[in-house]
Structure 1
Amino acid sequence: MTTLEQFRDTFLEEPGYLNYASIGPVSATVRDELRAEYDSLTRMRFGAGDRTRTHDDRLADAVSAMTGHSGANIIAQPNTSTGLLRVLFGLSGHILMSRDEFPSLPVAAVRAQGALDRLSITWIDGADGRVSPDVLTQALNDDITAVAVTLVDARTGYRADLSAIRDVIGDRLLIVDAIQGAGVIDADYAAADVVATGGQKWLRAGWGTGFLSFSDHALERLDPVISGYTGTAEYEPWGTVPDAARGSASAFTVAGPDYVAEARLSAAIEEITALGIPQVEAAVLDRADEVIAMLDAADLPLVSPRKRDEQSGIVVVRPAEGRLGALGAALHNTGLTTTARQGTVRFSVHAGTIDSTFRMLKQALLVYRSSTDT
């Protein structure tokens, strides 16, 4: 069992970092895992290769504990976008999604539609990053066979309610891009038919890590179009090209996995599971509330939700016209790392964001306010 303080001890970044929604600094646990794996691969003692391959099952077990899907239905991916392409190319029928989702989803859908001409898309417009059950209910029709959403919207920090979405869409496939929030949001992943994510943000596992997690229903419906030799039922099918092992997660693989990446992601998820995602989420939202209070004191209009059950670790403001530059300068000159996009500034905090970072933010906002007063 891990305590919150032990979990926080694995955060190594320097003061001023408020950008987990872009890059999650690698945890001490993942760093140590990486060093151990490369030391093993460098020396390659007898049996080292066999031991390294066990990370495939290790990752499946770790992800299964998080998503509720069977371990047999989980495969490693190098990133979220690759996973979504494999899923959308395997989908036929009619999919519903917001046009304003992070580009990974709409690009994958349009590419699949253009290449195979068996997928139709109904776009939701005007959701402003908030794909709620009510929004979906208004857009649903009898032709729609699948719905795709992001767990947390990258531009507003709005958290989708997967349980409520499942209730309104019925037995249609639910595909979730979980890159924003995986590991820190206590979501009902079992309500989803496909969960796709990378591990380089909130999971703090570094680039090249990720997974696809399927329900049995999804594997029955999806066609493994992007499928390599490892996606067949035969081991190394020399001299023949068997069909993909339809109905299995392995059918969506193209080659052997990056076992070191699997080790890093496994270590990251195991650490979070040891503490408990609800405990991590509570700590993240408490830190986010501190940011919101400081931004309110600086009279910065909040774009992200205030309701606790819609919040995430992402807090976003839209400064008044002509004031974005002043805020950006104050943050930069204080040494704070944030993201500015389309007239907004995004702050993203984790459970381990340290107090000195909040003191720096308070100082930056004082500078910003003073520039407003003059």
Structure 2
Amino acid sequence: MRKASLKLLKPMIDKFQRVHEICEILKSIDYPLTVGFSGGKDSSAVVKLLWACARILKTDCPPLKIVYCDTEVENPVIDSHVKKTLRMLQAEANDNGIRISCEVIKPEIHRGFFVRIIGRGYPPPTNSFRWCTKDIRIRPFQLYLGSKNEVPWIAIGTRYGESAQRDRSLKKHEDSSSPSRFIQRQREGNRETRLLTPIIDFGTTDVWDILCEFKEPHAIDVTTLATLYKDGSGECPAIRDFKDKPCSKARFGCWTCTVVRNDKSAENLINSGYDELRPFFTFRSWLAEYRNDPNNRCSSRRNGRKGPGPFTISARHEIYSKIRDLECITNKTIINNIQSEYILYLINIDLSDQKYLASDPSALIGNFPLFSEMNPP
């Protein structure tokens, strides 16, 4: 029997028994529980599961803080869906007396994606220089947790079987001292974080099962979610019953992502009728090619070593110009005024640095009208 066929024999997990098990854990938590929410199927299933627990436990349930990290370069369709979901979720929680607060966090200004690229000249991320994940996705969450006095408790939708790297990480952080298999511990420096992984052993079918069976909160719209996954994968049927192949292959993230060679999810969404994504996808493809042209890079790196360095001032000006054009086409702000000011501040530092100027002839002879229109911080 083929391996794929064997997976179909895996018994369905009793979701209502899982609610009871998670309730027992929640009763022992004295601090608010932060829930990492991306709007995808896994984090949505976690929210539905915790909502059911809150319904049962009432005041014995710790406050739930639903936190979404807006990298400011999220896929616009997904970003709009998530923020709409959060607004509806907050209203529904208020109406039902459930202690939930929804928050949106963002990267620090100096770590922003285009502040890094235009202000500092960072090349767009690659597999060997993947600076974006830590800067714009992980770091904001760490800072958010670091602002709290209590030992952080975080609920996440991580599951075994998603990737070998993810499985190794989950195994590494298992808490042998805990009586529950759903609790893990992470330590960074002197700070400890406790992780609640309520769907750690779920298969994809189990995730869609809980999304469909648990009707509340209504803010988690499973039909819309399934449609996004269907349109993003280009091969998933509508869910009518659990014999259908579940939606799972779509992977949503930043519209600027140049780590992958081809952004299949974006291509599939565009082919499914999300035409508003086309200009973003076109820019992303242009930026990936622009990065690879040695004429757009300084002759040495910032540490003085020879080799492709940061984008030249001229190249950064061209990228900035393309973004302004993109803003006009999409009617969306991509770089706000505060970010523009900080970008100018960083560029002026380079223009006054003789070591930098030695590796970037364009900085001495170029004309940069868009930068001159910026207001200094």
Question: Counting strand residues as a fraction of each chain, which structure ranks higher?
Answer: 1
- TM-score normalised according to structure 2 size: 0.28
- TM-score normalised according to structure 1 size: 0.29
User: Which of structures 1 and 2 has the bigger CA Rg?
Assistant: 2
Of structures 1 and 2, the one with the larger relative CO (CA 8 A, separation 6+) is 1
